[in-house]
């Protein structure tokens, strides 16, 4: 499949021209926070990019933990991908209708499980529809394919690794949540989770990386300026975190655009860290 893979982002018009290609699978990875009171699956059924299938991050997940949408096993992910008609040579294009949430999470998941033929639709469904490109509500089913999943542990951080991280302040951790949640002045949306952030974290609200007018990721020079203002050295490794490992992937996507393909996401994120009684918590700005 000949596609412009120098970037993790894919242009809407390129996808429109290649939408019917047999080696392209489009996934609607719509997701909303509980406070948004929107149903991503219902919105998909009402309207989606022609030929797109729904990718539910809560379904393709580890159901043996109370934490939301944690990464599944490689075998579980491979079975889910294969059911969607995805093979190891398929170009997977993810999108959403909510500022890269959770199109970036789906993109990161495919990369974690060894699949580099994956890109995020820049601007998502909002830009697609603004350009008048084909969308409908038709049910979509593709013939299953065999998908073999690998695993890249370097792209994931777990609780044990994060506990060690707080003892090594030279490592860079960047939190994607809203300023109020990061500082601890706004309550967490999930009951039983403390307010604040992991000590030593820097802060960059994920929404500040998205152009509010065209819903696309900011140009690279603007992205670089945002990370620099947050105190992040993009020449050095970065781990990202958020509430549940979703918007952290938007930071990873933006850093990928700046040349950092090794960004790790703390999968449990604040739902795990803030939900424990023995993890240190910091309050206030970074």
Residue 168 has pLDDT above 90, yes or no: no
Strand order of the β-sheet with 156-157 is 156-157, 264-266, 238-241, 172-175, 202-203
**DSSP category for residue 216:** P
Q: What tokens appear for 129 in the block?
A: 């529809």
CA angle 36, 41, 46 (to 5 degrees): 100
For the whole prediction, is pTM greater than 0.85?
Answer: yes
pLDDT band at 2 (very low <50, low <70, confident <90, very high): low
pLDDT band at 60 (very low <50, low <70, confident <90, very high): very high
Mean pLDDT of the 108-136 span: 97
pLDDT for res 5: 65
242 given a catalytic annotation: yes
pLDDT in tens, 194-209: 999 999 999 999 999 9
pLDDT for res 4: 61
pLDDT for res 34: 79
Q: Which of the following is catalytic: 242, 249, 250, 254?
A: 242
Please give the Cα distance from 177 to 247 (Å, whole number): 7
- Structural domains in the chain, CATH included, are 9-151 (3.40.250.10), 154-273 (3.40.250.10)
- Cβ count within 10 A of residue 164: 11
- The residues, ordered by sequence, that sit 6+ positions from 197 with a Cβ below 8 Å of its Cβ are 175, 177, 182, 183, 184, 203, 270, 281, 282, 283, 286
Residue 3 has pLDDT above 70, yes or no: no
Q: Which parts of the chain are beta strand (E)?
A: 9-10, 24-28, 48-49, 53-54, 91-95, 118-121, 135-136, 156-157, 172-175, 202-203, 238-241, 264-266
Residue 48 has pLDDT above 70, yes or no: yes
Residue 167 has pLDDT above 90, yes or no: no
Residues pairing with 68 in the sheet: none
Are 261 and 195 contacting, i.e. CB atoms less than 8 angstroms apart? no
pLDDT for res 149: 98
pLDDT in tens, 229-268: 999 999 999 999 999 999 999 999 999 999 999 999 999 9
Residue 37 has pLDDT above 90, yes or no: no
Residue 123 has pLDDT above 90, yes or no: yes
Residue 1 has pLDDT above 80, yes or no: no
Residue 33 has pLDDT above 90, yes or no: no
- Cβ count within 10 A of residue 228: 11
Please give the Cα distance from 246 to 70 (Å, whole number): 10
Q: What tokens appear for 243 in the block?
A: 């509430």
Query: In whole numbers, what is the pLDDT of the chain averaged over residues?
Result: 95
């Amino acid at each position: 499949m000949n596609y412009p893979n120098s970037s993790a982002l894919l242009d809407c018009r390129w996808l429109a021209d290649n939408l019917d290609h047999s080696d392209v699978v489009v996934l609607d990875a719509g997701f909303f926070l509980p406070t948004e009171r929107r149903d991503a699956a219902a919105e998909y059924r009402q309207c989606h990019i022609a030929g797109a299938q729904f990718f539910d991050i809560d379904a393709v997940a580890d159901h043996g933990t109370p934490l939301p949408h944690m990464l599944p096993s490689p075998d579980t992910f491979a079975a889910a991908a294969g059911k969607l008609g995805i093979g190891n040579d398929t170009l997977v294009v993810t999108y959403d209708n909510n500022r890269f949430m959770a199109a970036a999470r789906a993109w990161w998941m495919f990369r974690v499980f060894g699949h580099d033929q994956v890109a995020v639709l820049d601007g998502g469904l909002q830009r697609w529809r603004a350009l008048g490109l084909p969308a409908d509500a038709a049910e979509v089913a593709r013939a299953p394919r065999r998908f073999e999943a690998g695993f890249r542990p370097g792209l994931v951080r777990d609780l044990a690794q994060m506990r060690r991280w707080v003892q090594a302040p030279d490592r860079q951790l960047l939190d994607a949540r809203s300023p109020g949640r990061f500082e601890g002045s706004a309550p967490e949306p999930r009951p039983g989770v403390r307010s604040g952030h992991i000590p030593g974290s820097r802060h960059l609200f994920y929404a500040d990386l998205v152009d509010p007018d065209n819903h696309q990721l900011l140009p690279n020079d603007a992205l670089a300026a945002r990370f620099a203002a947050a105190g992040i050295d993009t020449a050095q490794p970065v781990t990202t975190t958020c509430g549940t490992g979703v918007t952290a992937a938007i930071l990873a996507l933006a850093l990928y655009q700046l040349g950092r393909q090794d960004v790790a996401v703390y999968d449990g994120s604040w739902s795990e860290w803030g939900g424990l009684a023995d993890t240190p918590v910091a309050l206030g700005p970074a």
